[in-house]
Amino acid sequence: MYQSFKEKANRVADVICGKTGQVVGTVGGSLVAGSASAAPVDLTTLTAAVDFSTATTAILATAAIMVGVYVAWKAAKMVIAAVKGL
């Protein structure tokens, strides 16, 4: 019932190579030819509408908090080691 990853990969390879008797067609050539003649898509209206400044601020604030916690943790370890050494 369950197949290993290797068995599934071999099955996919057999289908791609046409060894299972299934009909396998390729459309890659027509897709490449069709996209080569098409004009590039203009996404400036979509990208101009997005503002990542708040997301950037949130990510940097989170990173700063994590660094602060790390520094406090290391400082606490140093203090505990110094007190144990007395």
28-59 confidence digits (pLDDT tens) = 444 444 455 578 888 888 888 888 888 999 99
Please count the CA atoms within 13 angstroms of the CA of 24 that sit on its side-chain side: 11
Rounded to whole angstroms, the Cα distance separating 44 from 50 reads 10
Q: What mean pLDDT is predicted for residues 11-33? A: 56
Residue scoring higher pLDDT (63 or 33):
63
The fraction of the chain above a pLDDT of 70, given in percent, is 66
pLDDT at 58: 94
> Rounded to the nearest 10 degrees, how much is the dihedral formed by the CA atoms of 66, 67, 68, 72?
100
pTM: 0.42
